Amino acid sequence: MEHKPRIFIGSASSGIQVAEKLKVELSNWAICDTWAQTGVFGLNKNYLDQLLEHLNLYDYCIMVATGADETTSNGVTRISPRDNVIFELGLFMGRLGRDRTFYVFEEGAKLLSDFEGITLPKFPRRKGKAQDNAISVCAAKIKEHIDNRTGIFEGGLFPAVPLAFGYFNNFISVVCEKLINVKRAKINGVETSITDFELRILIPNDIVDDMKKKVAAARNIKNWELISVQAPETRSYDFYADVDFRDGKATLKDVPTTLLSLRQTIVEFMKITQIGENQKQRIVEIREILRFKSVLEYLISKNSYTKDFVKIEIVDI
């Protein structure tokens, strides 16, 4: 499962050529949509409502500011970007954050005082080779910025990050710590020595509504067993898992059904904002599954009880 960064590129009509050039420069590693391309904004729908929908679908935003208008301030007339470009910049920055929103502007265009002192990608007003080269440089800087970021804890509206923390703290770290310290467990009531183990987390590639039923069916088919990890200082910790012993090593497999809460959040939120199309829902779902996985991998790598004992894979349940 792969999730390329999704980038929305907005502009006024006068900046669409610049937006398209940025798209060409970035499309070899990211999925880029400009506001004017077919299918991005549908027919018979309010533009603002659709714009609000798009806030949930994209990981990054680039707003191209060209001198489409003239404004006079304190007796000085200057070329200025369209009001809607500034408005959309604010919308995306409010949702995605300033580190995931880029403002690419035409030299000479009026700059908001809030951006004074900030290094921004820019391009010359005159079309030609110099402008094309400057746009290529802008795209390269944006790519470098994105490549150098982790962003795994930026959860947006959906709870992939807190769910990962909860699953790690309440299950993964607890099980590993107890098995490492106690080196035994009850498997279907039978005391069993476990001197070496591997815990495999099987993340479903599709968190459908009937995921719990699918997991239950898998447990029945594969005879998942009731594991009870004993620890003298606390209560026993019980869970179901697929257990396989080979060469004295126990492999335990678990599916984080807590992800069903993520599914419910996505579905309910999309109902509220009327963006329940399957394709859009799937885009968000894949992104959040991968974010859940990334946070888990980070937490596992930083914990001495888990870093050598836990493996994660995305599977078809």
pLDDT score for 36? 77
Task: Name the residue ranges covered by the structural domains of the chain.
Answer: 6-147, 160-315
In terms of DSSP H, where are the helices of 194-276? 211-222, 259-273
Cβ contact 97:154 at 8 Å: yes
User: Do β-strands 249-254 and 237-246 pair in parallel, antiparallel, or remain unpaired?
Assistant: antiparallel
pLDDT tens digits, one per residue of 203-230: 988 877 676 777 777 666 567 888 888 7
pTM: 0.76
Asked whether the predicted pLDDT for residue 272 surpasses 50, the reply is: no
Q: Output DSSP code: residue 141.
A: H
List the Cα angle 81/50/157 in 5-degree steps. 100
Q: What is the pairing mode between strands 122-123 and 101-106? A: parallel
- The CATH label, of 3.30.9.10, 3.40.50.720, 3.50.50.60, 3.40.50.10140, for the domain at 6-147 is 3.40.50.10140
The more confident residue out of 271 and 252 is 252
pLDDT in tens, 182-195: 888 888 888 888 88
pLDDT for 283 beyond 70: yes
Strand partners, 239: 227
Q: What is the pLDDT of residue 133?
A: 92
Tokens linked to 188: 């279907």
Higher pLDDT, 48 or 183: 183
Q: Residue 75 CB: number of other CB atoms within 10 A?
A: 5
Task: Give the number of other CB atoms < 10 A from CB of residue 38.
Answer: 6
Element (H, E) at 26: helix 16-26
Report the range of poorest mean pLDDT among 43-47, 254-258, 308-312.
43-47
